[in-house]
Amino acid sequence: MENNQVSVEDARNMLWNEGILRWMLKPVQQELYDSYENCKEKIVVWNCSRRLGKSFTLCTIALETCLKKGNSLVKYCCAKQKDAKGIIRPLIREIIETCPRELKPEYKTQEGAWVFPNGSRIELAGLDGGRAESVRGGSSHLAIIDEAGLVGDLPYIITSIILPTTATTKGKIILASTPPKSPSHPFITRYLNKARIEGNLVTKTIYDNPNIDPDELAKLIEESGGEDSIDFKREYLCHVIKDENFAIVPEFNSDLKSKIVKEWPRAPFYDSYVGMDLGLKDLTVVLFAWYDFLNAKLVVEDEFIINGQKFNTNNLASGIRKKEEKNFTDTITGEERPPYIRVSDNNLIVIKDLWDLHGLRFMPTRKDEAEAALNKVRKMLQDEQIIINPRCVTLIAHLESGIWNKSKTSYERSADMGHFDAIDSLKYLVRNVQTNKNPYPAGYLIKNSDSYFKTQNKPSHPQYDQYKKMFNIGPKPTFNKPTKN
């Protein structure tokens, strides 16, 4: 009887010749592979735990792409150049150990690429240190960004450099990463959230890997600070979470946000303020606020945002005037109440232009003792002495997502949110608001106590009760209408 059995080596060689490498993957990695194969979107997003083998899976997909079709080009990009050399290059070498000699690619050091006998290529590149431009050009059938959550300028790299290379090939782009420290990173705000909404996001945690040794898992948990630690939740459970150790305003959590982000009834008398942080490369953020003297609260009513490309003093002045007219016009008389103080950071050229050309007087703020000034903002937020209107979406986002750089010497820079400039605008307001200035005319509260406190939706107020006792304020007297004879 003829033996038709195929040896393991022969079967393996057949699969290599067909460009089929899924068999090399563990079950959780096969699920990642299948999500790439089945995704109909241009950009595939993986939100993956560390120690899951995502880079091994990415390398396998890259090799398959090159084996299945000659003259294919795969651009494999890492957040850091050292990872391209020290991790991905050795990983590909490990995977191709079983590859038949006639199919096996060779690494060309001068080209920084694995070159296949059929003319296909896997080009390795790091995206740090200004190297992203080296990825430009060519027609790629697949582009990979490994640890996309660590890549600065991610939207520019994808839109301006990588996407054009896939235009004629209809190639896909895989963004794979653990969540970054800041929820404001474009990997989260532009790509992960979009994929989640569209139902295409793939999330795999450390518990999705059945092959991890229990003792190794226990060690990872211990090294991360426990299962409830921020590091473990972010790095191994793939939670999008702000690291409070690097948060600029750690007090601004979901609980505090629910308490202070709301509409606030406008007081009958108040002083209004405008705070501005100027940015050319980043955002220029202007906040419009008023101080509620009786309740001792700074109410941030609105914001105006302009970026570097649109920035000039004409656009800036026009935007400020429109917001002031909208927010500081008396609803009864129609008279605009000019701000009591406008304050800005110390760009004296812009301040002078706004006054000379547009009649907008801004005062340069003090910038000494910056840490103390920020701490005052944090304490006022914590004590609910700052109220933020829900329309101030940029301010809210910056307070939620703002983080320090690694050395904590400056705010981290975000491709989508700039330098978290709204936090500084708020800091300038807090520094310059005149909390002791009473905007109410003499005797107003006594004469109008009933109507004023009713507008605050408070059934009782200690100060109001005290006035009633002192001056015997009671209900208004009623008179009988005269009767006709």
Domains in the chain and their CATH numbers? 8-235 (3.40.50.300), 254-432 (3.30.420.280), 442-480 (no CATH)
Q: How far is CA 262 from its chain centroid? A: 22
0.75 exceeded by the pTM? Answer: no
Residues 6+ apart with CB under 8 A from 321: 358, 360
- pLDDT tens for the chain, 485 residues: list them: 455 677 888 999 999 999 999 999 999 999 999 999 999 999 999 999 999 999 999 999 999 999 999 999 999 999 999 999 999 999 999 999 999 999 999 999 999 999 999 999 999 999 998 899 999 989 999 999 999 999 988 999 999 999 999 999 999 999 999 999 888 788 998 899 889 878 889 999 999 988 888 999 999 999 999 999 989 999 999 998 877 778 899 999 889 999 999 999 999 899 999 999 998 778 899 999 999 999 999 999 999 999 867 788 999 999 999 999 999 987 667 778 889 999 999 889 999 999 999 999 999 998 888 899 999 999 999 999 999 999 999 999 899 888 888 788 888 877 667 789 999 999 999 999 999 999 998 877 665 555 544 444 444 445 545 545 555 555 544 445 445 54
Choose among 118, 165, 171: nearest CA to 141: 171
User: What are phi and psi for residue 311, nearest 5 degrees?
Assistant: -75, 125
Q: Residue 408: its pLDDT value, please?
A: 85
* Per-residue pLDDT, 457: 47
- 470-481: b (≥16 Cβ within 10 Å) or e: eeeeeeeeeeee
Can you point out the beta strands (E) in 100-140?
106-108, 113-115, 121-126
Q: What is the pLDDT of residue 116?
A: 97
pLDDT score, position 305: 93
**Which residues neighbour 443 within 8 Å (Cβ) at sequence distance 6 or greater?**
none
CA Rg, the chain, in Å? Answer: 31
Whole-angstrom distance, CA of residue 203 vs CA of residue 196: 10
Question: Tell me, what's the pLDDT at 87?
Answer: 94
Q: What angle do CA 395, 396, 398 make, to 5 degrees?
A: 65
Please, which residues have CB within 8 angstroms of residue 225's CB and are 6 or more apart in sequence? 231, 232
